[in-house]
């Protein structure tokens, strides 16, 4: 593929681009679903193409093509330069890129079992077995399950000399059981809602998730929710399980630290951020127990935000975001690093595919586990009057990322250190910094899981990409509960 | 751009490569370009061209799909092989129907409900938009911002697209369309305003006018004050209406009834909304866009979904209609027939109406007239991050954004801090006091529709945010 990149880089230089990079990408995906005892969908997809990103006259241009013949590639490069010159007609200042050492490198996701080598028969049998377990519970009216595998091979070549070949692999699976009765639909999901658990791993993830083993319990909980009491409204201490806490991190830390949002680049769609530049190293984001990193390195784990290099050739990095409760860092790119006084990019520029412009995206934004050994059961035992909430059901946050409201699938009332009753329709709400400043306990490493969020949307045209979020269950004091169902 | 004759050639090549009982090929794609601006400057500017061919094969009641975006012989051989190998290992689906043929398509379902042919949605002027023209449009928007001491962010995009379907029973359809879109946010120190519009014909867009309205909203909502949450009369501009009501249309589906996930379960034929709520699905409406056939190539019909608050029926893909006819719901859901709203097979979600048109009921009022007759209320320009909290009462949560203003004694009285709402769609559509003429509207949380602005009483705001 190097020759494709060379064709494009040569034309970009001849047309006057001061910088250019080329990404050639081949993506493959497989999606299998079942619903109520039948295969719901079965599809394979392949997409191949290239793009050219250039700076000309101090402004950006980008063009992409599925045709990788020489004429089409050269025309695409020329189009990118022409677009950049049009951009330059409405600019305030020239684009500045933080320096980055150009590297020649190979990187690929470590895995044990290539999921594309596992027979479709075997996959469908697994999903139908889960489906059977779910529907064996009286009262289940809808059972859905899914398996997803993705591979992306990318060649990144820049006019500065970078030449990086990278292959990423991801696997995801999950299921949901619905119970409709009277005027109510209740639902339970495993291992997480909205597609389950996803990681940059091979088929070994599926074997680790114990999908079949948990199906009956999940279905029974969905039915039992109909008999459960409504979650009360009021102020309570709450414990969030690690998957819900992962989404809380995503929405109320991950998005506000995106530097492009902070600088107003997303104002028309995704929004801006309350984390204005004056808050760096001055804002108390949370209590001393709140330690958050943005870590794309493999040693952080197989998250959907794990890679060798970002989409402008910056090696995976770990950036401290919140240290002992103090806000310490943003997600940045080569273009934006200088705005926070950094001399290097934070390495977070990523694109959905070959036809999309890379932009600042979350990598793995994780709350580090507590250092004092503590299991979830021990955390519950130390809670006098609270509510444990598990598995996200709804999520919403304002466009500066202050006010949020989350609903969960199931709640458990805690009295004097014990779970005393199941609660349906639990929800909680708050203001981001007030919430993180109410955290008083985080479980330790044994309870920490690196969750994958496969559906994070941002940008115009919108791009959907996967992000990772490590979390252990944690407790928050005096949180507003139940506003969603207030009369 | 891929032409129909080229697609036909690809289809013929695929037919020669497959051993399947039946084969169906979908085509989609086109050219797309978008100029994005922020801080009064163009900061992203992109263009792409891509076409996808998606092959569905059938072997004895087993079906599956594979797609590719490269059309050389080896790629087509590979995509056929992928589709066939996936299909062969499926379990036979007793509900899978033979693919429709040309005659069945012509005869499809209820002729009394048949729409006229949709108007052309391809405009040369839109297809010919260049990066320079988009930059010129952005320049004019920035000029409005500078004149008003504001900064602006937004997009100006243009596209030409194709959708096509061919199957081995002789059915073929081809649809081409253009679309231009402008979205503008104007930002003041502590306020913002927003406008967005799109159309197949760029001549229908006026970026400067949109910019002026967005700027005025930013100015009018400056220095927002906090007022307590509670139940308020709200005037929802069309984009806000669209983004809310869009959350219910997944449920106007035969498959959703079968799956017992629809809030219409047990409610079809009942009066669920106010007397003044009437809407249909009509791809041929002059303000609508999109292709006139569904994922199996069945022509989309005009379907009355709700009349005077009464839920009349839902839409159906072919196999869903047959399943519902055989089900316990057969006499509880109104007319049952394939309506041309199916998604490409195989699909676990079945079908959905995507060309919603609200009717003008009574005496329509402009937003200005609604404001003038409101003693105390809130004008909502735009909503954001809407999610379903409870599926059967269709309880939704979300935030106001980019122009939330207090109304007192028939006049706008300045900006207020944005609210979070928790509101049932059933409750909301039962409390509509006034409506404007429906217009083509677009938002961010749902698909484009023809909807009115609405004045709604007792809309429930549960919390305020910090700005």
Looking at residue B75, which CATH number applies to its domain? 3.30.2290.10
Domain contains B64: yes
Query: B79, B135, B323: best mutation site toward chain A, by most A Cβ within 10 Å?
Result: B135
Domain contains B173: no
Statement to judge: residues A92 and A119 lie in one domain: yes
Statement to judge: residues A206 and A240 lie in one domain: no
Q: Strand B432-435 vs strand B454-464: parallel, antiparallel, or unpaired?
A: antiparallel
| Average pLDDT over every residue of A42-58 | 97
The whole-number pLDDT of residue B108 equals 57
Structure confidence by residue, pLDDT tens digits, B206-222 = 999 999 999 999 999 99
Structure confidence by residue, pLDDT tens digits, A160-191 = 999 999 999 999 999 999 999 999 999 999 99
The answer, yes or no, to whether residue B114 has pLDDT greater than 60, is no
Statement to judge: residues B273 and B216 lie in one domain: no
DSSP class per residue in A304-365? TT--SB-TTSPBP-EEEEEETTEE---B--TTTGGGGT-SS--S-EE-SSTTS--EE---BE
Name the average pLDDT for chain A.
Answer: 98
Statement to judge: residues B184 and B310 lie in one domain: no
Cα gap A430→A425, rounded to integer Å: 17
The whole-number pLDDT of residue B115 equals 44
| Average pLDDT over every residue of B174-182 | 98
The whole-number pLDDT of residue B117 equals 64
Query: A124, A311, A398: best mutation site toward chain B, by most B Cβ within 10 Å?
Result: A398
Statement to judge: residues B369 and B271 lie in one domain: yes
| Average pLDDT over every residue of B28-32 | 98
Min Cα separation B116/chain A (Å):
33
The answer, yes or no, to whether residue B201 has pLDDT greater than 50, is yes
| Average pLDDT over every residue of B324-335 | 97
Statement to judge: residues A234 and A339 lie in one domain: yes
Domain contains B373: yes
Comparing CB atoms, the residue among A46, A92, A120 nearest residue B41 is A92
pTM of structure: 0.97
How many beta-carbon contacts under 8 Å exist across A and B? 274
B34 in contact with A, Cβ within 8 Å: yes
Statement to judge: residues A153 and A259 lie in one domain: no
Which of A201, A227, A253 is where one domain is finished?
A227
Q: Do A268 and B45 touch (CB under 8 A)?
A: no
Statement to judge: residues B251 and B184 lie in one domain: no
Which of A203, A227, A251 is where one domain is finished?
A227
Statement to judge: residues A210 and A289 lie in one domain: no
Comparing CB atoms, the residue among B33, B153, B402 nearest residue A264 is B153
Q: How many domains does chain B have?
A: 3
The answer, yes or no, to whether residue A258 has pLDDT greater than 60, is yes
Q: Do B260 and A185 touch (CB under 8 A)?
A: yes
The answer, yes or no, to whether residue B103 has pLDDT greater than 80, is no
CA-wise closest residue to A452 among A180, A58, A230, A169: A169
Comparing CB atoms, the residue among A67, A142, A460 nearest residue B260 is A142
The whole-number pLDDT of residue A486 equals 87
Cα gap A24→A48, rounded to integer Å: 8
Q: Do B260 and A141 touch (CB under 8 A)?
A: yes
Structure confidence by residue, pLDDT tens digits, A61-87 = 999 999 999 999 999 999 999 999 999
Statement to judge: residues B302 and B288 lie in one domain: yes
Specify whether the CB–CB gap between B128 and B159 falls below 8 A.
no
If you search the block for the tokens 């409709």, which residue do you land on?
A180
B211 in contact with A, Cβ within 8 Å: no
Which spans in A136-227 are helix H? 204-208, 211-224
Comparing CB atoms, the residue among B67, B261, B401 nearest residue A399 is B401
Q: How many domains does chain A have?
A: 2
Asked if the bond preceding A191 is cis, omega within 30° of 0, the reply is yes
Cα gap A452→A305, rounded to integer Å: 8
Residues of A in Cβ contact (< 8 Å) with B42: 59, 86-87, 89-91
Statement to judge: residues B319 and B416 lie in one domain: yes
B227 in contact with A, Cβ within 8 Å: no
The answer, yes or no, to whether residue A233 has pLDDT greater than 80, is yes
Q: Which domain range does residue B139 map to?
A: 124-160+179-220
The answer, yes or no, to whether residue B365 has pLDDT greater than 60, is yes
Statement to judge: residues A244 and A219 lie in one domain: no
Domain contains B245: yes
Statement to judge: residues A172 and A239 lie in one domain: no
Domain contains B166: no
Structure confidence by residue, pLDDT tens digits, A285-314 = 999 999 999 999 999 999 999 999 999 999
Min Cα separation A46/chain B (Å):
5
Q: How confident is the model at residue B361 (pLDDT cuts 50, 70, 90)?
A: confident
Domain contains B412: yes
Q: Which domain range does residue A318 map to?
A: 230-485
The whole-number pLDDT of residue A462 equals 96
- Three-state DSSP at B333 gives coil
Statement to judge: residues B233 and B372 lie in one domain: yes
B327 in contact with A, Cβ within 8 Å: no
Comparing CB atoms, the residue among A44, A398, A407 nearest residue B82 is A44
Which of A194, A210, A227 is where one domain is finished?
A227
Structure confidence by residue, pLDDT tens digits, A359-390 = 999 999 999 999 999 999 999 999 999 999 99
Statement to judge: residues A337 and A218 lie in one domain: no
Domain contains B349: yes
Statement to judge: residues B264 and B334 lie in one domain: yes
The whole-number pLDDT of residue A1 equals 81
The beta-strand segments (E) located in B300-452 are 303-307, 310-311, 356-358, 376-390, 395-408, 411-415, 419-424, 432-435, 439-441, 449-451
The answer, yes or no, to whether residue B112 has pLDDT greater than 80, is no
Comparing CB atoms, the residue among A65, A86, A402 nearest residue B45 is A86
| Listed range (A26-40, A92-106, B113-127, B250-264) with the worst mean pLDDT | B113-127
Min Cα separation B150/chain A (Å):
13
Q: How confident is the model at residue B102 (pLDDT cuts 50, 70, 90)?
A: confident
Q: Do B463 and A397 touch (CB under 8 A)?
A: no
Structure confidence by residue, pLDDT tens digits, A383-415 = 999 999 999 999 999 999 999 999 999 999 999
- Three-state DSSP at B456 gives strand
The whole-number pLDDT of residue B105 equals 64
Distances (CA, A) of B233 to A66, B181, B407, B457: 51, 31, 9, 4
Q: Do B389 and A427 touch (CB under 8 A)?
A: yes
Query: B24, B38, B47, B193: best mutation site toward chain A, by most A Cβ within 10 Å?
Result: B47
Q: How far is CA A475 from the centre of its chain?
A: 22
Statement to judge: residues B317 and B442 lie in one domain: yes
Residues of B in Cβ contact (< 8 Å) with A273: none
| Percent share of chain A, pLDDT over 70 | 100
| Average pLDDT over every residue of A261-265 | 98
Question: What ipTM describes this predicted complex?
Answer: 0.96
Residues of A in Cβ contact (< 8 Å) with B226: none
Gyration radius of chain B over CA positions: 24
Comparing CB atoms, the residue among B39, B391, B418 nearest residue A92 is B39
Asked if the bond preceding B346 is cis, omega within 30° of 0, the reply is yes
| Percent share of chain B, pLDDT over 70 | 97
Structure confidence by residue, pLDDT tens digits, A187-224 = 999 999 999 999 999 999 999 999 999 999 999 999 99
The answer, yes or no, to whether residue A48 has pLDDT greater than 50, is yes
Residues of B in Cβ contact (< 8 Å) with A266: 38, 153
Q: Name residues 354-413 of chain B within 8 A of A (Cβ).
A: 384-393, 395, 397-399, 401-402
């Amino acid at each position: 593929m190097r020759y494709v990149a060379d064709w494009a880089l040569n034309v970009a230089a001849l047309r006057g681009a001061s910088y250019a990079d080329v990404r050639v990408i081949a993506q493959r995906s497989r999606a299998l679903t079942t619903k109520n005892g039948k295969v719901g969908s079965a599809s394979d997809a392949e997409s191949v193409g290239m793009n050219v990103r250039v700076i000309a006259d101090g402004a950006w241009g980008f063009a992409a093509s599925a045709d990788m013949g020489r004429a089409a590639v050269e025309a695409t490069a020329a189009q990118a330069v022409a677009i950049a010159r049009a951009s330059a007609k409405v600019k305030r200042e020239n684009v500045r890129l933080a320096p980055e050492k150009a590297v020649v490198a190979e990187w690929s996701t470590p895995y044990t079992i290539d999921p594309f080598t596992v027979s479709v028969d075997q996959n469908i049998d697994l999903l139908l077995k889960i489906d059977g377990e779910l529907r064996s519970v009286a009262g289940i009216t809808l059972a859905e399950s899914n398996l997803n595998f993705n591979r992306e091979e990318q060649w990144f070549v820049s006019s500065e000399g970078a030449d990086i070949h990278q292959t990423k692999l991801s696997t995801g699976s999950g299921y949901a059981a619905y119970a409709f009765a009277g005027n109510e639909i209740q639902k339970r999901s495993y291992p997480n809602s909205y597609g389950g658990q996803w990681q940059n791993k091979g088929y070994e993830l599926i074997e680790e998730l114990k999908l079949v083993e948990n199906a009956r319990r999940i279905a029974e909980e969905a039915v039992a929710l109909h008999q459960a009491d409504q979650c009360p409204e009021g102020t309570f201490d709450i414990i969030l399980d690690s998957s819900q806490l992962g989404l809380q991190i995503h929405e109320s830390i991950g998005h506000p630290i995106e530097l492009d949002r902070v600088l107003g680049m997303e104002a028309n769609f995704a929004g801006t951020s309350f984390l204005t530049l004056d808050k760096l190293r001055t804002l108390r984001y949370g209590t001393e127990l709140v330690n958050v990193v943005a870590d794309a390195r493999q040693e952080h784990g197989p998250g959907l935000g794990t890679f060798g290099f970002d989409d402008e050739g910056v090696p995976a990095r770990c950036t401290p975001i919140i240290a002992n409760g103090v806000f310490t860092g943003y997600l940045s790119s080569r273009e934006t690093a200088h705005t926070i006084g950094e001399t290097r990019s934070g390495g977070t520029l990523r694109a959905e595919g070959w036809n999309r412009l890379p932009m600042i995206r979350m990598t793995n934004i994780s709350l580090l586990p507590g250092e004092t050994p503590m299991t979830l059961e021990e955390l519950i035992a130390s809670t006098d009057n609270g509510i444990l909430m598990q598995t996200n059901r709804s999520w919403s946050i304002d466009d500066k990322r202050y006010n949020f409201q989350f609903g969960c699938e199931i709640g458990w009332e805690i009295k004097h250190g014990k779970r005393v009753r199941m609660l349906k329709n639990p929800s909680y709400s708050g203001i981001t910094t007030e919430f993180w400043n109410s955290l008083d306990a985080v479980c330790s490493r044994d309870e920490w899981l690196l969750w994958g969020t496969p559906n994070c949307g941002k940008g115009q045209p919108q791009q959907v990409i996967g992000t990772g979020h490590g979390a252990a269950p944690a407790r928050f004091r005096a949180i507003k509960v139940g506003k969603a169902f207030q009369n | 751009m891929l032409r129909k004759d080229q697609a036909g050639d690809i289809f013929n090549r695929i037919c020669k490569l497959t051993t399947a009982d039946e084969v169906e090929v979908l085509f989609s794609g086109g050219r797309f370009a978008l100029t994005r601006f922020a801080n009064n400057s163009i900061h992203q500017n992109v263009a792409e061209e891509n076409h996808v061919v998606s092959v569905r094969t059938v072997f004895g009641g087993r079906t599956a799909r594979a797609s590719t975006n490269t059309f050389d012989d080896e790629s087509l051989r590979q995509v056929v092989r992928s589709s066939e190998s996936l299909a062969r290992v499926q379990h036979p689906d007793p509900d899978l129907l033979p693919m429709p043929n040309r005659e069945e398509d012509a005869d499809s379902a209820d002729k009394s409900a048949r729409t006229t042919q949709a108007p052309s949605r391809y405009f040369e002027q839109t297809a010919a938009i260049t990066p320079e023209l988009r930059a010129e449009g952005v320049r004019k928007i920035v000029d409005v911002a500078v004149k008003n001491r504001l900064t602006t962010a937004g997009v100006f995009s243009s596209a030409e697209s194709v959708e096509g379907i061919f199957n081995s029973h002789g059915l073929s359809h081809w649809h081409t369309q253009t679309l231009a879109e402008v979205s503008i946010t104007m930002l003041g120190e502590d306020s913002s305003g927003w406008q967005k519009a799109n159309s197949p014909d760029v001549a229908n867009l006026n970026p400067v006018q949109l910019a002026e309205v967005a700027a005025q909203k930013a100015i009018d909502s400056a220095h927002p004050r906090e007022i307590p949450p509670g139940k308020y009369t709200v005037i929802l501009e069309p984009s806000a209406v669209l983004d809310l009501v869009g959350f219910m249309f997944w449920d106007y589906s035969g498959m959703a009834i079968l799956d017992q996930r629809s809030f219409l379960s047990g409610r079809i034929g009942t009066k669920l909304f106010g007397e003044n709520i009437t809407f249909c699905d009509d791809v041929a409406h002059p303000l609508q866009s999109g292709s006139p056939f569904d994922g199996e190539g069945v022509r989309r019909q005009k379907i009355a979904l709700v009349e005077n608050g009464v839920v009349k029926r839902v839409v159906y893909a072919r196999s869903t209609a047959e399943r519902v006819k055989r089900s316990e719901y057969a006499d509880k859901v109104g007319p049952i027939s394939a309506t041309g709203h199916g998604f490409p097979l195989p699909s676990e979600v079945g079908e959905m109406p995507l060309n919603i048109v609200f009717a003008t009921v009574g005496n329509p009022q402009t937003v200005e007239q609604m404001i003038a007759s409101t003693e105390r209320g809130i004008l909502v320009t735009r909503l954001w991050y809407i999610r379903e909290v409870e599926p059967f009462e269709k309880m939704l949560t979300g935030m106001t954004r980019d122009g939330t203003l207090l109304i007192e004694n028939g006049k706008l009285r300045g900006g207020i801090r944005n609210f979070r709402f928790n509101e049932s769609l059933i409750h909301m559509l039962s409390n509509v006091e006034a409506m404007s003429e429906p217009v083509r509207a677009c938002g961010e949380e749902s698909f484009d529709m023809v909807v009115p602005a609405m004045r709604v009483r007792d809309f429930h705001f549960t919390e305020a945010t910090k700005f």
